[in-house]
A and B are shown apart, each in its own frame.
Chain A
Amino acid sequence: SQELEQSPQSLIVQEGKNLTINCTSSKTLYGLYWYKQKYGEGLIFLMMLQKGGEEKSHEKITAKLDEKKQQSSLHITASQPSHAGIYLCGADISNNDMRFGAGTRLTVKP
Chain B
Amino acid sequence: NAGVTQTPKFQVLKTGQSMTLQCAQDMNHNSMYWYRQDPGMGLRLIYYSASEGTTDKGEVPNGYNVSRLNKREFSLRLESAAPSQTSVYFCASSGISRSDVLYGYTFGSGTRLTVV
Contacts and interface: CB of A to CB of B under 8 A. Distances in A.
B4 A100 contact: no
Main SS class of interface, B = strand
Contacts of A4: 42
Contacts of B74: none
A82 B104 CA distance: 23
Which one of A6, A9, A102 has the greatest number of beta carbons of chain B within 10 Å?
A: A102
Interface residues of A, number: 25
A74 interface: no
Contacts of B112: 40
A78 interface: no
B2 interface: no
Interface in B31-49: 31, 33, 35, 40-45, 48
A62 B101 CA distance: 20
A42 B56 CA distance: 23
Given A97-B58, A100-B42, A102-B42, A45 B90 contact: no
Contacts of A97: 45, 48, 58
Contacts of A88: 42-43
A103 B39 CA distance: 9
A82 to B, nearest CB: 19
Given A44-B107, A90-B105, A96-B94, 6 more contacts: A31-B101, A42-B110, A96-B48, A96-B50, A99-B42, A99-B45
20 contacts: A2-B41, A4-B42, A31-B101, A33-B105, A40-B109, A45-B103, A48-B103, A88-B43, A90-B104, A96-B31, A96-B33, A96-B56, A96-B94, A98-B33, A98-B104, A99-B42, A99-B59, A100-B44, A102-B41, A103-B42
Interface of A: 2, 4, 6, 9, 31, 33, 35, 40-45, 48, 88, 90, 95-103
